[in-house]
Structure 1
Amino acid sequence: MKDKEKKIIEAGMSLFAKKGYSSTSIQEIVDACGISKGSFYLYFKSKEALLLAAFKYQFQSIQSKLDSLKIKDLTPRETFIAQLVAQLEEIQKNKEFIIMQIREQTIPINSEVELFIRKISAEISSFYHESLIKIYGSPINPFIYDLNIILQGIVHSYLKLIIFDKASFDLHRLSHFILKRMDDLAAGFIRSNEEPILTADYVERLSELYPEPAKEDVLRKIHHTKEQIENEDLKITLEVLEAEIEREDPRIPVISGMLGNLKNEPDLENVKTLIEKFFHLGNE
């Protein structure tokens, strides 16, 4: 991202948070940046386009924070807590912009914004799913989707207090507290003879509402996964996949062959599923 583009986005976010999206004009944004309207339109075709860029910028700041965490030597529990703290910190930092979005009902302001918000939701759900599987293992599999949706509800409820009621929490303590509640729920689910409410089939049908992953999403996931694994053979497989996906014309037989090396690797199931979804290989 160019410095001027970043400057426009940050100025727009600041003004949207203070004045509201509807009340902020492009002229005010360019005045805050010290640029002309012509320069603005070199980067953004409209104020709506700037809002979408602001959503992406905000989400990418969270992704960057998560990617920068030193989690290679952490346990799954420690990793989840570190990642949840980072997520909460970034959201808290941008709470005024979030308040504006909700008050003005800017979501969805158009189909592009709606799709991007769905993408964020899918990313968060995937993060929780992967974390819960690593923490509780295969015994939680029948209830993983119910546990995931409950976790999202708990996090959202505390975020509501932080954003709207200006509650102040020790985010490390809060993250530990939330994980302990997941321990209670997971133990109860595993002891239970109940049937889960959410099943894999239902979630699969629901996922059709969400946008397809982009190449950049797949490559980012592969890069992040490579940094977390020790097995050299698996790391080489991921490097081959990464190089193949970066090609202008990825060779599907090569990708399918490499994905075969990831079978029966629970820690790599998430990245394997993402690649299969991107290339529509799931039903083959």
Structure 2
Amino acid sequence: MIKKQLIMEKALELFAKQGFATTTVQQITDYCGISKGAFYLSFKSKDELILALIDHFMIQITSNIDYIVNNIDDDAELLYTFYYAMFESFHKHSDFAKLFIKEQSHTFNEEFIVKMQYYDKLSERMFLSLIERLYGETVNRIKYDLIYCIKGFMNTYSSLFLFYNVPLDLKVLAQSLVEKTNLLARQMTVPFISPELWQLMEQPLLGEVTKEQLRNFIDQKVDELEESVEKESLLLLKEQLIASTYPQAVVRGLLENVRNHPECKWISYLLRRYYQF
């Protein structure tokens, strides 16, 4: 196991028991069985470790949902699959979500706020793409309000299994939210969020990277990985960025090779966006 990944997994166990504020770097290193020097080779501080954990879980959720939505050809199944996959991801990572919501008030700083704004804006763009594909021009006046309605559904219904331990039937939940979303799309007539207001709230995303940045990301990830199919696939993907010699089917296959590796999900997501897959 990569040392950085080990530290993150063990630290999460401690944070779940003790909270962010009361857990020290010394306790983390003792629990991991490593020295402080080894810890600081991976993370500059406990705050950086916490931000890395947020990145890790948000990347898992974002990349999985993006992949699923962009590989569903049947529009009739798209919204259902989206809701099902989103809540399945929340449920899978519910331990971290509970800890994060409970502890976030103790960790507010500028970097934390920027990080959360980034992921929030990323999710909004995913929702907008979904809405435009499903409903087209018929919802132009209300599409930005629909984004916030979907966000509201996600926040409200996720609390049922995060805090109340309600038995979760993902199929029924997804079907129910599909019905509600479709009703809003067909019946809503008074928008609150205008295109001008939306533009004011828009900002560039850190995820919009250049070809050179993608190559640098791949180099960093290759250095961290042991010899594996994922490492070899990343090297071939780097060659593709340089020379563009492989057909689209091969590039898709290489991306599929790395997609499920926990350390490669973000670079896989960025490459899929770059190639518009």
TM-score by length of 1: 0.69
Aligned residue for 1:142, secondary structure, equals coil
Distance in 1, matches of 2:177 and 2:113, equals 29
Equivalent in the alignment of 2:248: none
Distance in 1, matches of 2:86 and 2:106, equals 20
Higher mean displacement: 167-176 or 72-81: 72-81
Alignment of 1:148-167 (within 5 A): 148-167=147-166
Letter in 2 for 1:202: L
User: Which residue, 198, 202, 205 being the options, matches 2:200?
Assistant: 205
Distance in 2, matches of 1:107 and 1:198, equals 32
Higher mean displacement: 82-91 or 60-69: 60-69
Query: How many residue pairs were aligned?
Result: 221
Distance 1:14 1:83, change over 3 A: farther
Equivalent in the alignment of 1:66: 65
Partners of 1:16 and 1:97 within 8 A in 2: no
Overall identity of the aligned pairs, in %: 26
Distance in 1, matches of 2:69 and 2:47, equals 36
Deviation readout 1:60-94 (Å, 9 max, x if unpaired): 11134235548635313423322332222222222
Partners of 1:71 and 1:79 within 8 A in 2: no
Q: Please list every run of 5 or more consecutive structure 1 residues that lacks an aligned counterpart in the other structure.
A: 221-241, 247-270, 276-284
Equivalent in the alignment of 1:214: 207
Partners of 1:14 and 1:97 within 8 A in 2: no
Distance in 1, matches of 2:43 and 2:129, equals 36
Distance in 2, matches of 1:74 and 1:214, equals 25
Partners of 1:20 and 1:100 within 8 A in 2: yes
Partners of 1:132 and 1:144 within 8 A in 2: yes
Partners of 1:15 and 1:29 within 8 A in 2: yes
Alignment of 1:218-229 (within 5 A): none
Root mean square deviation, CA, Å = 3.0
TM-score by length of 2: 0.70
Letter in 2 for 1:143: I
Equivalent in the alignment of 1:118: 117
Higher relative contact order (CA closer than 8 Å, sequence separation 6+): 2
Distance in 1, matches of 2:99 and 2:126, equals 26
Deviation readout 1:36-56 (Å, 9 max, x if unpaired): 111000010110000000000
Partners of 2:150 and 2:181 within 8 A in 1: yes
Distance in 1, matches of 2:150 and 2:69, equals 24
Distance in 2, matches of 1:104 and 1:72, equals 35
Distance 1:54 1:73, change over 3 A: closer
Distance in 2, matches of 1:97 and 1:74, equals 32
Q: Please list every run of 5 or more consecutive structure 2 residues that lacks an aligned counterpart in the other structure.
A: 215-239, 245-269
Distance 1:34 1:105, change over 3 A: same
